[in-house]
């Protein structure tokens, strides 16, 4: 495509506000998927989820190699934008090309350091509808490499050059296959990149501003947007609007409330997906850089993070017997953490890693003080043994079967019991916890007992 043809395409596309597509998402239906799996296509955001009078301000940034005068003017424009945003307490979004980040890593990092959201805007700003899948992925990958070198990240947010194909199902599938699940589009362009005067920009705001609008502007000279930015902000405020960050714009409802209450991007990072149905109707999950937020009407919205999330994912998240979280992650004894779910808990410590505990074994363990009690943290998930089920803890095991219930075996008695074959031995499963006797400690089993002598430090087996 020629330069003039691309310019014509860009002018034609940007002039649109796409009222029929101004819903969030809005791309073709995807095949059915299992619960809480990666999106089939990137979700397109032509506006935020807000229904109140708020707007989100974004800029696109692609410094081509120009004259020293042009580059100096563009750098001054960027400094103006960041200064005005800071002066008004606004967190914006920036569609940054890979070549800009490669040529100007300090400026790119400064944008992110000031808290603004970075979008992958391709490496060299081609029309993605003219590229093969491999070429699209190359553009994305090269940009991410430049971002990493500059110390910034897109978190899987993409913005289409020229807005070309932004609603195309194939393009959005290609994005998802490369880990880009958010297509950060926009509601309207000020057309400042065309050197539009204030009258033109003001008229476009009057015509196209609406609740949740995402506004795109441009940094590079000859754009008038940097010079007009304070007037744009003042006009939008005068129309009764406030400003929300891109981080907030892609969240909604109870998940948004928990995300913001937890500290937003400073706590969970940026969203890496839009909100998705977690399992059945009325449930929702959203993935973030540092965790996931789950919501159901029965449990409310709660975050799952770190090693606990890794374990939860390995188990199948909401599709597992654990189902939905009923608490956020909580601190545990000795610097550990735990999260409680409808069907059990996951506990983590640096010494043991993350393991699930549920059912009667969990009830028994919690009655004994949980991780703060004698047994400490779990060292295994619940597993099947020859008779019933068991969980290994730091200082003992809890065994359960439907006939005898849950009982603890620990210390020297546990060592001897395991040497004999555990529940598969002649002793069978435990029928009591360890208790004090005259000579020391004793545990009873279906077919006998193990008695520890405190004087000799030996364990005697007594069979029935």
Local confidence pLDDT in tens for the 464 residues of the chain: 334 334 444 444 444 444 333 344 444 455 555 679 999 999 999 999 999 999 999 999 997 666 777 778 888 999 999 999 999 999 999 999 999 999 999 999 999 999 999 999 999 999 999 999 999 999 999 999 999 999 999 999 999 999 999 999 999 999 999 999 999 999 999 999 999 999 999 999 999 999 999 999 999 989 999 999 999 999 999 999 999 999 999 999 999 999 999 999 999 999 999 999 999 999 999 999 999 999 999 999 999 999 999 999 999 999 999 999 999 999 999 999 999 999 999 999 999 999 999 999 999 999 999 999 999 999 999 999 999 999 999 999 999 999 999 999 999 999 999 999 999 999 999 999 999 999 999 999 999 999 999 999 999 999 99
CB atoms within 10 A of CB 227: 15
Alpha carbon distance 70, 149 (integer Å)? 25
Q: For residue 52, what is the DSSP state?
A: S
- Which of 85-114 are b and which e, b meaning 16 or more Cβ less than 10 Å from the residue's Cβ? beeeebbbbbbbbbbbbbbbbebbbbbbee
Look at residue 72 in the predicted model and tell me its pLDDT. 84
Structure tokens belonging to residue 163? 């807005």
Q: Which domains does the chain have, with CATH numbers?
A: 3-249 (3.20.20.370), 275-357 (no CATH), 360-464 (no CATH)
**Pairwise CA distance, residues 396 & 69, whole Å:** 73
**C-beta of residue 193 within 8 angstroms of C-beta of residue 54:** no
Write the DSSP symbol of residue 139: H
Helix axes 105-113, 68-88, angle to 10 degrees: 10
Pairing of strands 330-331, 300-304: unpaired
Residue 38 contacts by C-beta under 8 Å, 6 or more apart in sequence?
176, 181, 273
Q: What is the pLDDT of residue 259?
A: 98
pLDDT of residue 3: 40
Average pLDDT of the chain, as a whole number: 93
Which strands make up the sheet holding 284-288, listed edge to edge? 284-288, 291-296, 300-304
Position 69 scores a pLDDT of 78
Nearest-Å Rg of the Cα atoms of the chain is 29
- Residue 342 has a pLDDT of 98
Q: How far is Cα 188 from Cα 177, in angstroms, rounded to an integer?
A: 28
Crossing angle of helices 225-238 and 198-208, in 10° steps, is 40
- Which residue bears the tokens 């000799």? 456
Eight-class DSSP state of 89: T
Cα angle 168, 171, 175; round to 5: 135
**Dihedrals φ, ψ of 459, to 5°?**
-115, 125
What is the model's pLDDT at position 415? 98
Long-range contacts (CB closer than 8 Å, 24 or more residues apart) made by 356-361? 356/311, 356/315, 356/322, 356/381, 356/382, 357/381, 357/382, 357/391, 358/321, 358/322, 358/382, 359/389, 359/400, 360/400, 360/405, 360/406, 361/389, 361/390, 361/391, 361/398, 361/400, 361/406
Our measurement of the distance from residue 330's CA atom to the centroid of its chain's CA atoms, rounded to an integer in Å, reads 18
Number of alpha carbons in the 13 Å side-chain half-sphere of residue 86: 12
d(C-alpha 147, C-alpha 153), whole Å: 6
Decide if 426 contacts 462 (C-beta within 8 A). Answer: no
């Amino acid at each position: 495509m020629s330069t003039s043809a691309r310019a014509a395409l860009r002018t034609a596309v940007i002039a649109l506000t796409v009222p029929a597509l101004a819903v969030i998402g809005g791309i073709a239906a995807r095949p059915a998927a299992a619960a809480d799996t990666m999106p089939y296509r990137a979700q397109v955001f032509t506006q935020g989820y807000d229904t109140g009078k708020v707007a989100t301000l974004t800029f696109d940034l692609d410094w081509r190699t120009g004259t020293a005068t042009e580059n100096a003017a563009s750098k001054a424009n960027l400094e103006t934008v960041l200064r005005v945003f800071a002066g008004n307490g606004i967190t914006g979004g920036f569609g940054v090309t890979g070549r800009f980040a490669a040529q100007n890593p300090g400026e790119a990092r400064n944008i992110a350091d000031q808290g603004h959201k970075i979008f992958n805007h391709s490496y060299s700003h081609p029309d993605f509808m003219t590229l093969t899948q491999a070429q699209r992925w190359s553009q994305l990958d090269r940009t991410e490499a430049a971002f990493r070198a500059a110390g910034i990240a897109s978190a899987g947010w993409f913005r289409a050059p020229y807005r070309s194909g932004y609603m195309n199902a194939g393009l959005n599938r290609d994005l998802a296959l490369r880990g880009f699940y958010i297509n950060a589009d926009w509601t309207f362009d000020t057309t400042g990149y065309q050197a539009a005067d204030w009258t033109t920009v003001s008229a476009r705001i009057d015509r196209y501003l609406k609740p949740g609008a995402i506004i795109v502007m441009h940094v590079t000279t000859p754009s008038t947007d940097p010079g007009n930015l304070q007037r744009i902000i003042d006009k939008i405020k005068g129309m009764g609007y406030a400003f929300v960050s891109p981080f907030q714009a892609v969240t909604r409802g109870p998940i948004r409330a928990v995300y913001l209450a937890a500290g937003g991007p400073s706590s969970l990072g940026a969203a890496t997906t839009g909100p998705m149905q977690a399992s059945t109707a009325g449930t929702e999950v959203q993935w973030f850089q540092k965790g996931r937020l789950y919501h159901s009407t029965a449990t409310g919205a709660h975050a799952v993070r770190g090693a606990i999330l890794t374990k939860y994912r390995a188990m199948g998240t909401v599709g597992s017997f654990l189902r939905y979280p009923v608490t956020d992650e909580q601190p545990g004894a000795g610097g550990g953490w735990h999260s409680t779910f409808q069907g059990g808990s996951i506990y983590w410590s640096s010494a043991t890693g993350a393991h699930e505990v549920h059912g009667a074994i969990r009830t028994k363990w919690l009655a004994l003080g949980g991780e703060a009690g004698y047994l400490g943290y779990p060292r295994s998930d619940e597993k099947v043994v020859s008779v019933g089920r068991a969980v290994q803890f730091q200082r003992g095991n809890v065994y359960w079967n439907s006939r005898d219930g849950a009982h603890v075996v620990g210390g020297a008695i546990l060592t001897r019991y395991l040497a004999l074959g555990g529940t598969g031995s002649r002793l069978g499963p435990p029928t009591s916890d360890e208790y004090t006797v005259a000579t020391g400690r004793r545990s009873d089993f279906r077919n006998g007992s193990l008695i520890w002598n405190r004087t000799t430090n030996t364990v005697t087996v007594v069979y029935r």
